[in-house]
Amino acid sequence: MELKSIIDLAKTYQDELPLLIPPKVPQGKDIAGWIDHTILKPEATEAQITKVCEEAVELKFASVCIHPVHVPLAVEVMQGSNIPVCTVVGFPYGATSTASKAAESKLYLKDGATELDMVLQIGLMKSGKYQAVYEDVLAVVEATHPKGGLVKVILEMCYLDEFEKILACLLCKIAGADFVKTSTGFASGGATVEDIRLMRSVVGPPEEMGVKAAGGIRSLSDAKAMIEAGANRIGSSAGVQIVADA
């Protein structure tokens, strides 16, 4: 699809979004399988990383999401568990070059990660350089999919206006990304129900593309609200408490 057609579609969606049925909220401890158990604090120690990995194995989270430097440790701790190791690319600002993001992706996959949460080139999106944004996502997808990995694109929704949010979702979908994600958790805002509804409406049903809510999700009620709005993955550092409450 040509860029002009994508922009025109985004403008159409601005006037009227498709209505979609959101995923059903998982019951009880099954919600763990929808949560990326996350620790992205820069001061996190290896002992804390190990603890999070052990919790992911015990509670059967969807993945454990950590900084790249800790990927080999996570792979070692969770060996044989079938719990994916997720790490971040171009984090937290998305302002690294496309070549560096593609190189990062290949390195982290080689280290054992199987899910990559990359940050959109936010400044270029705000500058209207949509082709460059698309090519940035595509480069990571092309580095990742041949190795069997998943790509989730962090849009940092708090920085985008409605048109940019819609267009960013479309660019990511057409580039072949597996998920769009709300936030890094390091910006001025996190996930909102309104943004999740918009994202799900734009990208279609979960079998076509995933929507990950992240940023400020600290409770079971927060997680349920996001799933009811259309998220089929939750990123949270409070996963243990959410599962306990469920």
Please write the tens of the pLDDT for every residue from 16-54. 888 877 778 899 999 999 999 999 999 999 999 999 999
Give the mean model confidence (pLDDT) for residues 182-210: 96
pLDDT at 1: 78
Say how many Å lie between the first and final Cα of the chain, rounded: 43
Catalytic pick among 101, 152, 181, 224? 181
Q: What is the pLDDT of residue 22?
A: 77
**pTM: predicted TM-score of the whole model, two decimal places:** 0.97
Active site residue 212: yes
Question: pLDDT at position 17, please?
Answer: 87
Tokens of 141: 């997808």
Domain ranges of the chain: 3-15+36-245
29 is catalytic: no
> What would the mean pLDDT of 156-170 be, rounded to a whole number?
98
Residues 6+ apart with CB under 8 A from 114: 84, 85, 86, 148, 149, 150
Backbone angles phi, psi at 230, to 5 degrees: 135, -5
Signed CA dihedral, 162, 168, 174, 176: sign only: negative
pLDDT given for residue 18 in this prediction: 84
pLDDT one-digit tens code per residue, 205-221? 999 999 999 999 999 99
Average pLDDT over residues 168-186: 98
- In whole numbers, what is the pLDDT of the chain averaged over residues? 96
Tell me whether the omega of the peptide bond preceding residue 146 falls within 30 degrees of 0, making it cis. Answer: no
- Residue 15 annotated among the catalytic residues of the structure: no
CA angle 111, 62, 138 (to 5 degrees): 55
Return d(Cα 84, Cα 91) in angstroms, integer. Answer: 19
Domain at 3-15+36-245, CATH homologous superfamily: Aldolase class I (3.20.20.70)
**pLDDT value of residue 197:** 96
Mean pLDDT within 92-114:
98
The pLDDT of residue 25: 87
Catalytically annotated residue among 152, 165, 173, 212? 212
Question: DSSP secondary-structure letter at 185?
Answer: S
The three state secondary structure string of 143-163 is HHHHHCCEEEEECCHHHCCHH
pLDDT band, very low/low/confident/very high, at 166 (cuts 50, 70, 90):
very high
How many percent of the chain have pLDDT more than 90? 95
169: enclosing H helix or E strand: helix 162-175
16-30, 58-72, 130-144: least confident range:
16-30
User: Catalytic pick from 117, 136, 195, 222?
Assistant: 117
Q: Which residue has the higher pLDDT, 13 or 24?
A: 13
State the pLDDT at residue 221: 96
Look at residue 37 in the predicted model and tell me its pLDDT: 98
Give the least confident one: 23-27, 124-128, 147-151, 184-188.
23-27
